[in-house]
Amino acid sequence: MNSVAERFMRYAVVSTASDPDSSTSPSSSRQFDLLKGLEKELIELGLEDVFLSRTGVLYATVPGGISGDVIGLIAHVDTSPESPGEGVAPQLHRNWDGLPILLNKEVLIDPAECADMLRYKGGTVITSDGSTLLGADDKAGVAIIMETCKWLIENPAIRRPKVVIAFTPDEEVGRGVENFDVDRFGADFAYTVDGGEVTEVSSETFNAWSADWSITGREVHPGSAAGSMINAVRIAGELISLMRSEEMPENSSGRDGYDYPLFVKGTTGSAEVKIILRDFTTEGMMKRRRRMEAIRDCLASLFPGSQIELILKEQYSNPGEILKKDRRLVDYALEGMKRSGIEVREGSIRGGTDGSRLSFMGVPTANLPTGGELFHSRREWVAEEGLSIALDGLKNTLIIWGEKL
């Protein structure tokens, strides 16, 4: 296999799932297993100012580069807690015939459900064994950045900008840059390498809010519950039924936003519901928040005597308006990917990256692809050839920055 694919598979077997219920930073100590390994590799490669913070952010500087704008490269080491992430066993599907890949009796990867998978017919597709996710989101990005650092160190004569890197924890639970030191990072612009198909450079993400519900009912023996019981589980069910099914993730695409009931648990006495809200526009997000508040008021009137608390919290914002102010970050990346021999477009990622928040912290950040799809699931995959295309696109992008300085 090529070196970036080999590197990715080595990182993939390290368990790094983040924990949404933890208040520590990182949210899971196992993320340090990969971070400490990367710290050692960066030092061995010859990077400077290598520093791993106690909150799990790893910084480094590639020596060399010409004066001018400093370009940062970012990827996150954690994997999604939404699918099993312990004991990842990467599988190679060489000379893939373009047909659906059956991993086990429960998990089938159908190329018809993927935007760009058939590009790799005849090549090598990397998956898990179907019992876990793969971790391409975002260990593929980590591997691409590490290979880029190696290439820069081995080719000091290349005209390119000064390059700094950062690997973050907890991106999958919305806390990737919670403890990020922008001054230590030192970048004027940055790229997250956290995208999917190689045909897209992303200049927009969702605006994102969470809606956390706490419902308190009244417990009574069901045999004598008439006129007395207030069932928190029933209220939780009514809450979800009042949401618009046509605006849930399974019914949205493109630039549609969504309301996603993510988690429910409860008893008669109390229940919790976690919902996430996503929209590309500020106006659309405001409507979604108001709709949650209207549902709260409706439930309070339907179930007198209950206590219904709704906490709305901003998670990240769409950096699109910021990136429009200086088009170089996106335009150079589009040209860099084109030089890799593919047709490429500017797109909007239906999710968020560390760059969503970094752009509002003073470091405008666009998102580059990795060559995989179906992230956060046991059907997750990445192609060896896709990793190579993404790597070449990043290299070309840095060369273009050097040409323009």
Q: How far apart are CA 15 and CA 103, in angstroms?
A: 20
* 3-class SS of residue 192: strand
| Residue count of the chain | 405
Residues 6 or more apart whose CB falls under 8 angstroms from that of 202 comprise: 195, 346, 347, 348, 349, 353, 366, 367, 368
Beta bridge mates, 189: 71
Cβ neighbour number for residue 141 with a 10 Å cutoff: 31
DSSP-derived secondary structure letter, 95: T
Give, in degrees to the nearest 5, the angle at Cα 387 between 384 and 391.
145
Quick check: is 171 catalytic?
A: yes
Quick check: is 78 catalytic?
A: yes
- Of 171, 194, 204, 392, the active-site residue reads 171
The pair phi, psi for residue 23, each rounded to 5°, is -105, 0
Amino acid at 299: L
Amino acid at 362: G
- Of 78, 137, 170, 178, the active-site residue reads 78
Residues 6 or more apart whose CB falls under 8 angstroms from that of 329 comprise: 189, 191, 323, 364, 365, 366
- Please spell the DSSP secondary structure of 245-309, one letter per residue: GGGSGGG--TT--EEEEEEEEE-SSEEEEEEEEEESSHHHHHHHHHHHHHHHHHHHHHSTT-EEE
Q: Residue 41 corresponds to which tokens in the numbers above?
A: 């590799």
DSSP-derived secondary structure letter, 393: H
Contact by Cβ (8 Å): 112, 368: no
CA distances from 56 to 27, 327, 376 (A): 9, 31, 22
Q: Which residues are catalytic?
A: 78, 171
